Structure 1
Amino acid sequence: MGSLNTKIIYRFLGITAILNGFFMFLAFPFSVYHDENAKWGILGAGAVTVIIGLLLYFSNKPESTNIQKKEGYLIVTLGWLILSFTGMLPYLLTEAIPSVSDAFFETISGYSTTGSSILTDIESMPKGILFWRSATHWIGGMGIIVLTIAILPLLGIGGMQLFMAEAPGPSADKLHPRITDTAKRLYLIYVTLTLVQFLLLKVAGMTWFDAINHAMATMSTGGFSTKNSSVAFYNNLPFVQYIIIFFMLVAGTNFVLTYFALKGKIQKVFQSEEFKYYFFGIIGVSAIITIVVYFYQDPNLQTTIAHPMVYGKAESAIRHSLFMVTSVVTTTGFVSADFTMWHFFATGIFFALFFTGGSAGSTSGGIKVVRHIVMLKNSFLEFKKALHPNAIIPVRYDGKAVNRTIVFNILSFFIIYMLIFILASVILTLLGLDFMSALGAAASSLGNIGPAIGSVSPVDNYAHLTDAAKWFCSFLMLIGRLELFTVLILFTPFFWRKN
């Protein structure tokens, strides 16, 4: 591989910044409507970001528009960094979040769709800032990189390498042979589902502002809410929570399957092994949690189940168990109840769920269900091979043999993921967190989940972390969102060799 095409990298970062700036302008009308002083800070942030983008774009005219793998990895990682560094400008210029460490944490938590927050009084924030905060989720959910791929043909740039770097999971399904058409279809589904959820939430009782913010946060599996108590604010509106449960399930499903479902090919959805494990796994775990909450919940902590119990204790236990399990598995991070106040057994199950993740090809983070399926199948095959050492038995997924290279890639991913989690937990104890909180913050940041255990439980936030801990968690969110390899490969010496 030859030397890096730096001009194409800078030009692409310029496009990313320009798009980010235009998204900032969308927050401006919300501030104007509510007559907020923050409107000028938001407008200024958008203008600065667009100017940065224009300078990067027009000062770099590449001789070749061909993007190789090296450029792809750099563009994606640097693209997310430029999103985060420019994305924190609205917080800083409006002084909604005056600290750089806090502003960067909140911003990268948005783009990585983690949903961890340092805000202690969300409802006092300007409406324009709250919209921008939700917009960072929505942009990051499908990846602004994919959005840019959709318009790259207009710029004479090919995007396949970028798509592979942005979505490095084991699933390489495409809706259409042309990568740009794939990106357009993905975004059409994404936008349509967001609008449908917005309308349903409005009808169910949310204000139009809360409805659009929660719709963006749900479809991106982000979890930023406009309320201090998150979706628990709507515990007296069960249908709001059921709507969010449904769309969390959809957002955590492979978008290729969602595309087939919308085309009426429902049988293809239930033919997918990953979907069956994902869907029935959520239902099964929710049933277990429901039993625990209904029969073993401490009566003194009854208010943590529901407030008030609109349709009785049984419905309340089912709804909150299903809500919280779906929220954690899809890595959305919305909160309807504090699971750390439930039985210790329930809390243990939720901690285990931190390491599941949604489907490959969805907006959710985490390890992903398909990786667990392949690892489990490979493990059982090892038992068989112990009895029949000469047998050649491939791992089969969806009825097809899985290439050994993919199996090894998945095993490597899991080992590296767990090593990073262990190391990150130790480092966070060094940076001031107690052991339980360090475990929770490490698992939550790496898995892009949001609420955790200890001092970062569903009813707490990350404001009390030291600046060093916030920057470290920000790094974990970034590598978690880009599935480890995309970022970590940049730290290897062979990546920078010219051969």
Structure 2
Amino acid sequence: MQFSIVFKTIGLLLMIFSFTQLPPIIVDVAYGEQQYPVFLTALLITLISGLGLWLPFRHSKKAFRIREGILVVVSFWFVLSLFATVPFLLTESLNMSFSDAFFESMSGLTTTGATVITGLDDLPKAILYYRQQLQWLGGMGIIVLALAILPMLGVSGMELYHAEASGISRDRLTPKLTQTAKVLWFIYIGFTLACALAYYLVGMNAFDAIGHSYSTVAIGGFSTHDNSIGFFDSYLIETIAVFFMFFAGINFSLHFFVWRQNHINHYYQDSEFKTYVAFLVFLTLLVFIYLFNTGQYLSIGEAFRVALFQSVSMATTTGFISTDFSLWALGLPVLLIFASFIGASSGSTGGGIKVVRVLLMFKLAAKEIKKFIHPNAQINIKLNKKSVPDSTLVSVWGFFALYVIAFFVIMLALMFTGLDQVSSFSATAASINNLGPGLGKVAANYGSISDSAKWILSFSMLLGRLEILTLMALLNRAFWRF
């Protein structure tokens, strides 16, 4: 293991991250709420720490391999969450413990959206902006952002990108990594600006529009109000949120190809996209029919409005709330939690198992049924009209096996901390799928659970954000053999 290049890279990334404290300072100056010393202190602490890691190894020219890439990605998400706690700890408006602050920062950066904070409507604007910004940075992955900068500083980034983007579609993009990172961020920023403008035009003030555009495009779910999107009680705002949650849940490589070739056919020709759309339509109709038939909403329009918003929000793992879905009758709350298991598309800012993996598992199951009926038949599994290699199928099932094992271990660990079964199940699903809202004791927020449960869930959020394999590789003894 070449630790010099690891420390050098983490130091560089920390120095880059330190300057993200500047926008909250600008927001605070604009609103005059005297929070700028908090963010200035956080900037200096992060910058000096990054400089301290980088200076001793600044002349290191060792090659960057996949093992160093994995270690940097996992370490940096942990270290970044650690330094992101500083504003939460220093501000007097929150009075947070270290466990709460780390949970909040990890939730933000992994775009989970679970929170321990109440009274959001009364918090200083700079703190609210900072929470939203954490999700925005974590949405595309701050490491992918850094890949557009690190090559200029003498750090090769291909191994970092492969470790960060562990989805099976990662190789579909251009091999020019710096160019790819820049284009992806231009698309990401474009979506954010369009979303903020749309929110503003239909009634949000400028601050709320910018803050909610961050968490919408990042599929994060943090809000500047305790009642989330439900605070605005606006059909137009919910419609815009649905539109941008939907597009943020699409594989960004598809957006990349549409941008590069200026043709939308890439959407319609993609198997995962068609499955993604079909799943959202089916879920919305199912929730709508149950809501209307059970009489929870007397108006067809109101039932459809709520069903559409909550279905898309939960299925894409955004976690925005327009109404308290945990109070719905029958199994609808559990159904929406289960929808997050499928999640958004691979290569999107969403969480979950990802649509393409679920699609391949269904195709493989169908193949086994056909093989049982016709033992001698040669049946190929195809995706986008191309045969899927056996190695990819093995990888998908390996991921699913690790996912199931991790899920049950985390859920049991939460139950041993004293959480009931419903709360443990939903909290595990909400964290490992980077969803946010749960059921039972975690339906409103996570402030009432124990510190040990918060640390377990923080680990679960990171596990889900890195799609399990990256973090599990680090925990394997073979990884550390020199």
Question: Is TM > 0.5 for Structure 1 vs Structure 2?
Answer: yes
Structure 2 distance, partners of 1:182, 1:292, is: 44
Per-residue Cα deviation, 1:188-210 (whole angstroms, up to 9, x for no partner): 00011101111111111001000
* Corresponding letter in the other structure for 1:258: H
- Equivalent position of 1:308 in the other structure: none
CA contact (8 A) 2:147 2:181 kept: yes
Partner of 2:138: 140
Aligned 1:219-230 pairs, distance under 5 A: 219-230=217-228
Letter in structure 2 aligned against 1:90: P
Paired with 1:251 and 1:449, the residues of 2 have a C-alpha distance of 14
Residues 5, 62 of structure 1: 8 Å contact kept? no
Q: Distance in 2 between matches of 1:170 and 1:271?
A: 18
Aligned to 2:37: 40
2:344 to 358, 369, 394: 358
Match of 2:391 among 405, 419, 423: 405
Alignment partners' CA distance in 1, 2:61 and 2:369: 51
How large is the Cα RMSD of the aligned pairs?
Answer: 1.4
**3-state SS, counterpart of residue 147 of structure 2:** helix
CA contact (8 A) 2:28 2:36 kept: yes
Q: Give me the whole-angstrom Cα distance separating, in 1, the residues matched to 2:282 and 2:172.
A: 30
Cα distance in 2, alignment partners of residues 438 and 50 from structure 1: 38
Kindly state the Cα deviation for residue 390 of structure 1 after the two structures are TM-superposed.
4.1
Asked whether the 8 Å contact 2:434–2:461 carries over to 1, the reply is yes
Return the TM-score normalized by structure 1: 0.94
Distance in 1 between residues matched to 2:349 and 2:242, nearest whole Å: 15
Q: Read off the aligned partner of 1:375 and give its amino acid letter.
A: M
Q: Deviations over 1:5-60 (max 9, x none)?
A: 21111111112211221111211011122222322111111111111112212221
How far did 1:65 drift? 4.3
Task: Find the residue that maps to 1:354 and give its secondary structure.
Answer: helix
Structure 1 unaligned blocks of 5 or more: 303-311
**Is the contact between residue 9 and residue 155 of structure 2 (CA under 8 Å) also seen in structure 1?**
no
Q: Does 1:432 align with 2:418?
A: yes
Question: Quick one: distance in 2 between partners of 1:313 and 1:72?
Answer: 54
2:409 is the counterpart of 1:442: no
> 1:313: Cα distance to partner?
2.2
How far, CA to CA, are the matches of 1:322 and 1:434 in structure 2? Answer: 30
Contact kept? 2:18, 2:42, Cα under 8 Å: yes
After superposition, the C-alpha distances for 1:80-116 in whole angstroms (9 at most, x for unaligned) are: 0111001111111213343100000000000000000
SS at match of 1:360: coil
Counterpart in 2 of 1:231? Answer: 229
CA spacing shift, 1:63–1:11, aligned 2, 3 Å? closer
**Any conservation in 2 of the 1:339–1:347 contact (CA below 8 Å)?**
yes
Aligned match for 2:72, one of 67, 72, 75: 75
Mapped contact 2:292–2:303 kept (Cα < 8 A) = yes
Alignment of 1:29-68 (within 5 A): 29-68=26-65
Q: Which moved more, 1:170-179 or 1:399-408?
A: 170-179
Counterpart pick for 2:126 among 125, 128, 135: 128
Structure 2: segments with no counterpart, 5+ residues = none
Specify which of 324, 342, 349 is matched with residue 335 of structure 2: 349
Q: Deviation at 1:150?
A: 0.7
Aligned residue in 1 for 2:279: 281
- Match for 2:450: what amino acid? T
Q: Give the distance between the partners of 1:353 and 1:313, measured in 2 at CA.
A: 25
1:293 aligns with 2:277: no
> What do residues 432-460 of structure 1 show as CA deviations (whole Å, max 9, x unaligned)?
21110000001111100001111212xx1
CA distance in structure 1 between the aligned counterparts of 2:108 and 2:314, rounded to whole angstroms: 16
Hey, what does 2:6 align to over in structure 1? Answer: 9
Q: Which deviations, in whole Å up to 9, do the C-alpha atoms of 1:126-176 show, x marking residues without a partner?
A: 111111111110110000110111112211222111111101111124442
Code of the residue aligned with 2:39 in structure 1: it is I
TM-score using structure 2 length: 0.97
AA aligned opposite 1:251: A
What is the total number of aligned residue pairs between the two structures?
A: 480
Q: Are the equivalent residues in 2 in contact too, given 1:65–1:158 (CA < 8 A)? A: no
Give the C-alpha shift of residue 269 in structure 1. Answer: 0.3
- Give the aligned partner of residue 306 of structure 1: none
Residue of 323, 330, 347 corresponding to 2:309: 323
Match of 2:254 in 1: 257
Q: Please show how residues 190-201 of structure 1 align to structure 2 within 5 Å.
A: 190-201=188-199
Structure 1 counterpart of 2:447 = 463
SS at match of 1:88: helix
Where does residue 163 of structure 1 map in the other structure? 161
Alignment partner for residue 480 of structure 1, among 442, 464, 469? 464
Kept in 2: contact 1:150–1:183 (CA 8 A): yes
Name the CA distance, whole Å, in 2 between partners of 1:55 and 1:174: 37
